[in-house]
Homo-oligomer: A and B are copies of this chain.
Amino acid sequence: MSTESPYDPELMAAVTDLGDALRELLGASVRTTVGAGELAAAAAGARAVSARLAASTRHRDQLPSLDDPVAFRRVYSPVTGVGSAIAPPLRIRRERAGGVVAEATLGSQYEGPPGFLHGGVSGLLMDQLLGAAAMSADRWGMTAHLELDYRAPVPLDTPLLFRAGVSATSGRRTTIAGTIARADRADRALVEARGEFVTPRDELMDSYFGSITDAAGRHAPPGRGATDATALDPDA
């Protein structure tokens, strides 16, 4: 049984499609070799699209109408958001044996050293994956510590496998470990990550999230009420 709130499926499809289109555009923008005149025309085209989107906007304290802070559905997350062009997006699923898993193939827009994933992008993705592993164990928290060991460079344009699972809990603190590997060499970790996530005390929750509302204007702090981590991926 899912605790997810209902959402407008037509709007979700449109946000997802725009996210896909913007992701393609970012990919094209870092590989293009067209000249300055064509780049200027592309910039003008992008600004016309921006103007269309800016016709109606939300306040930054108001969550998108498609979000569900309790079920952690965040459509503009820079890692998992279907509507975020920064996000691959990672589709994080709960594993039967415990922990979470995701697959992704990352292109040139995430490049660090030529041909390889930016080391910081590994950190970005693993922070989300470790946090999702905590949530999958009903232990939502904010990152208190993140640590990564880079065993070998992570190749671009190659199917990758991301895994994470809770290794220890203590009070409000959850310790999680995870790895990045090539999908065809899942046993060999290219990156090993460890994180500590802490559920803030009530007074800190109020201080951090006191002004956050959902699209209807109701107070909507992030979800310590989450009880069903299948919401990590609506399709799972």
Residues of A at the B interface (CB closer than 8 Å) are 8, 10-11, 13-15, 17-22, 24-26, 28-50, 52-58, 60-61, 63-65, 69, 76-79, 81, 83-86, 108-116, 118-121, 123-128, 131, 142-150, 153, 156-157, 208-209, 211-212, 220-222
Inter-chain contacts of A19 with B (CB < 8 A): 29
- B22, B24, B113, B128: the one within 8 Å of A142 (CB): B113
Inter-chain contacts of A109 with B (CB < 8 A): 76, 78, 84, 86
Given known A45-B45, A144-B149, A145-B148, contact A208–B78 (CB-CB < 8 A): no
For the complex, give the distance between the alpha carbons of A39 and B28 in Å: 20
Given known A43-B17, A52-B42, contact A209–B113 (CB-CB < 8 A): yes
In the complex, the answer to whether B142 meets A119 with C-beta atoms within 8 Å is yes
In the complex, the answer to whether A53 meets B34 with C-beta atoms within 8 Å is yes
In the complex, the answer to whether B116 meets A127 with C-beta atoms within 8 Å is no
For the complex, give the distance between the alpha carbons of A41 and B18 in Å: 9
